[in-house]
Amino acid sequence: MTDLLDQNLVDAVLTLLTNDTGLTVFDGVVPTPTPPRPYVLVYTHLDRPSEDPDNSLNGKSGVWVPRFICHCVGNTAAAARGVAERVRTQLLDVRPVVAGLATGLLRLEQSLPPARDESTGVLVMDAVVVYRLRATS
């Protein structure tokens, strides 16, 4: 049986994003057929650092460090930056609530400029921003 804490962390941040009702949010995959832009595609990566000083003395891991890689997609560079700004408004310096964990503030870890993608024959601009969270049990 699992404690669901990993998924609860992800769900809390996705919920923050979907609280912007004008922002289309996808968790890990864009449906087919591809919906109209703009939208944000979110990939999540979760670390459980073994040498963290907040781990318990008995050696059990008690720290979660999820990263949320947000692909902010639009038809133009300005549209992609606009999605990135909406994501920032929803996440930066927010403390998500997750039962069973003490969460820190969401921090912007990395921001990349919009990049062109014409691999499908249609211009798409993708600005990537990465947010990091730290939580302890």
Q: List pLDDT tens digits, range 73-130.
A: 999 999 999 999 999 999 999 999 999 999 999 999 999 999 999 988 889 999 999 9
Q: Is the peptide bond before 33 cis (omega within 30 degrees of 0)?
A: yes
pLDDT for residue 137: 87
> What is the Cβ-side half-sphere exposure of residue 56, based on CA atoms within 13 angstroms?
7
Q: 5-136 — its CATH code?
A: 3.30.2000.30
Q: List pLDDT tens digits, range 8-38.
A: 999 999 999 999 999 999 999 999 998 999 9
Q: Locate tokens 């591809």: which residue?
A: 34
